[in-house]
Structure 1
Amino acid sequence: MIDARHPLTVGRPPGALSALHRAWLSHPRWSLAVKGALAAGLAWFVGLLAPEPFSEYPYYAPLGAVLATTSTVVRSVRDSLQSVAAVLVGAAIARTVHLLPLPGPLEVALVVGLAILCVSWRIFGDMGDWTVTSAIFVLIIGNGGEGDGFGYVGSYAGLILVGASIGIGINLLLPPLPLTPSELALGRLRDGLADQVEALANWLADKGALAPDEWEDRRHRLFPTVESARAAVAQTREAARANVRVRYKGNNYWMASQTRRADALGTAAEAVDEIVRLLVVWERDGLDEVALGQHLRPEFAAALRAFASALRAAATRDADGTANKDAVAAVDRLDRAVHDLRGVVRTAQRTTEHDYFVAGALIVNLARAADALRV
């Protein structure tokens, strides 16, 4: 079972088996490799037992099996159908061009050119490359000698479909649900955001105005971490569709927890990016009116440190589903820091000639992040 407060804590046997289980959960490619090997072996055996002309080309069945087992349950069905459609279109191109009285090089060039034009058809999705592969195979093998070209085409497409069906069946029995990798991706995002916010707070408190080039570089270095987390969570959400493993109580909770934290950290990432962008533009030397200035920098640095603390405690929950006390306390401290910062900015507006519009925008982003982390 999954500990509600610590999603990565799963009931496991002690010792070496525990370490192996953790490694297995952290590397979903291992389970994909096992399932792919099993599906390919079964597909090869079925291909050998199939009647002629299918049994003449048993090696095509494992292609479909591997295709179906290297993706989620829903995607494996879609990819299998799209790949078969692409295979048939590629075969039709090769057979049609072969009927024309063309020399070999020109025949190959025309087949490949026409097949490439079909690769981007929306009906094929990500399987469009099979059009080119099929066209070349059929042109070289299916049209050669005295064999039945149409029989080859039917065997090619049919065996891929049979292999894919075997892969889909194994996927249904052992569906992938990569919760641990997405959990780790969210952890990297949380830590990356917190580190950047803390670094920004320390810079404002100790060095003052930002160095634009350095902070633009820091801002851009965080983008891959954000995209990686989004992709990992999106893959997990897709894997949950038609997945019987989600029905287990622990996995169901874990999925809901990840969804909440992914949304919260996504909003926080947008807020951090906007805060850094605004400070890079408006908190630099040489401006007549900066965003904060020496008077407000310490106050904003304190609010940023509260933001970093709230990020590190982001969206944890107790076993009864209520928010964890440490997370609630961290967000409450952020709320108080934002409230205090508003008061300081209002006072500064009354006592100086600056309007502090940018400071107001920074506060809005901090408040937005606080609301997102309060889940």
Structure 2
Amino acid sequence: MTGRWRRVPAAVHHAWVRHPRWSLAVRGALAAALAWMVGVVAPAPFSDYPYYAPLGAVIATTGTLARSVRESLQTVAALLLGAGIALAADSVLVPGALSLALVVGVALLCAGWRVFGGMGAWVANAAIFVLVLGQGESADYVGAFAGLVVVGAAIGTGVNLLLPPLLLTPSALALGALRDALVEQLDDLAGWLDDEGPLDAAEWERRRRALYPTIEGARAAVARSGEASRGNPRARRHGERARSQARQAEVLGTSAEVVDEVVRLLVGWERSGRAEVALGPRLRPELASALRSFARTLQDAGSDAGPDAGAAFARSLDGLQDVVHDAREDTGDDHLVAGALVVVLRRGADVLSG
């Protein structure tokens, strides 16, 4: 029992770094609670609307450190513009459906400005709040609304600064999933060429497209990790790991493009039902061997592909190129598709060699 309990902290930490949503929830809850306490003790009229402070805190803690600063500024700008639109309308129009429609229409037009990014909706929200809830005390309401959101956003940014997310583990997991998917695709493709011959076009088009969600998931995870590293004091302690992961992302991104193009060429020119295929029985085994070598190189490269990682793969491509050359000499055919496959696969070998 004692040994089991000793493993609990490690298991909790493992789950914590795998699922950044948990740390986001903790940061958001802490920032909202602190912002609420500040709003309650603030002088009037701020203390009349303390719930706007947690709103700003949650906005600031739902992303990375760099994003929290940017989105906080965008939100405040959107709030001030929306409040200004409502105040201008309230000063010249009689309150009612017509004034509300006009305010919302103008606010929605302004919400599309690039300067607001994803926070543009707050222009219309602020305009509605000020027009509907601030009647009779517009100045006090606008000051409290905007001021408390600013204070809450500052608290949320401070919490993000003290507990900054780094997100290296989720991106590492996403890259690992992409590596596994590419290795499986290459092995399956090599096995098909050896055992089945020309490809079933519909089947391999489906397989090619099935990789897209994994590729996009890895790209998004790496982008979030890179954003989380900007201005993050924890990034200095994990600099080598972050650089290794960036290198891995480059290798796998290029490899994914190579695999996609190889399948495209084979689906177009080495498919079943085609009167004259591009490779035929003589070249298919050599291409299958090169694809297996590509898969092994990807699998063995780990998180940091060394300078010699693609050497074996490059040698297998030399063998494939020699066979293609001999086939040209023997048959007089150009074998353009086979040559194109060698060129495409060379790109994969080059990125693995670094």
**Residues 33 and 54 in structure 2, CA contact (< 8 A), matched pair in contact too:** yes
Query: Which residue does the alignment assign to 1:312?
Result: 299
* Structure 1 residue 106, shift from structure 2 partner: 2.2
Distance 2:102 2:199 in 1: 58
Residue by residue over 1:236-258, the C-alpha shift from the partner in whole angstroms, topping out at 9 and shown as x without a partner, is 1111111110121xx11110110
Distance between the aligned counterparts of 2:53 and 2:134, measured in 1? Answer: 16
Whether 2:268 is the aligned partner of 1:281: answer yes
Q: Which residue of 2 aligns with 1:50?
A: 42
Deviation of 1:174 (Å): 1.2
Equivalent-residue separation in structure 2 for 1:181 and 1:316 (angstroms): 14
Secondary structure, aligned partner of 1:52: coil
Runs of 4 or more consecutive aligned structure 1 residues displaced over 4 Å after TM superposition: none
Matches of 1:133 and 1:313, distance apart in 2: 53
TM-score after normalising by structure 2: 0.95
CA gap 1:246/1:103 in 2 versus in 1, 3 angstroms: closer
User: Which blocks of at least 5 consecutive residues in structure 1 are unaligned?
Assistant: 1-12
> Do 2:76 and 2:149's aligned partners in 1 also have CA atoms closer than 8 Å?
yes
The residue type equivalent to 1:339 in the other structure is D
**Once superposed, what is the RMSD of the aligned Cα atoms?**
1.7
Instruction: Look up the match of 1:115.
Output: 107
The answer to whether the 8 Å contact 1:264/1:315 transfers is no
Whether 1:19 and 2:11 are equivalent positions in the alignment is yes
Q: Does 1:175 align with 2:154?
A: no
Which amino acid in structure 2 is aligned with residue 235 of structure 1?
R
1:361 aligns with 2:340: yes
Residue 135, structure 1, aligned to residue 124, structure 2: no
Match of 1:222 among 211, 219, 227: 211
Give the gaps of 5 or more residues in structure 2: none
Q: Which amino acid aligns with 1:203?
A: W
Query: Aligned equivalents of 1:106 and 1:282: distance in 2?
Result: 64
Partner of 1:4: none
Cα offset, 1:366, TM superposition: 1.2
Percent identity, aligned pairs only?
56
Give the deviation of 1:139 after TM superposition: 1.6
2:310 counterpart SS class? helix
CA contact (8 A) 1:260 1:315 kept: no
Contact kept? 2:201, 2:272, Cα under 8 Å: no
Is the alpha carbon distance of 1:294 and 1:355 closer, same or farther for their aligned partners in structure 2, counting shifts above 3 Å? same
CA contact (8 A) 2:324 2:338 kept: yes
- Partner residue in 2 for 1:151: 140
Shift, 1:286, TM fit: 4.4
Report the counterpart of residue 7 of structure 1 in structure 2.
none
Structure with higher helix content: 2
Q: Tell me how far apart the structure 2 counterparts of residues 123 and 133 of structure 1 sit (CA, whole Å).
A: 17
Corresponding position of 2:27: 35
Tell me the distance in 1 between the aligned counterparts of 2:99 and 2:69.
34
Paired AA for residue 128 in structure 2: I
Give aligned pairs, total: 350
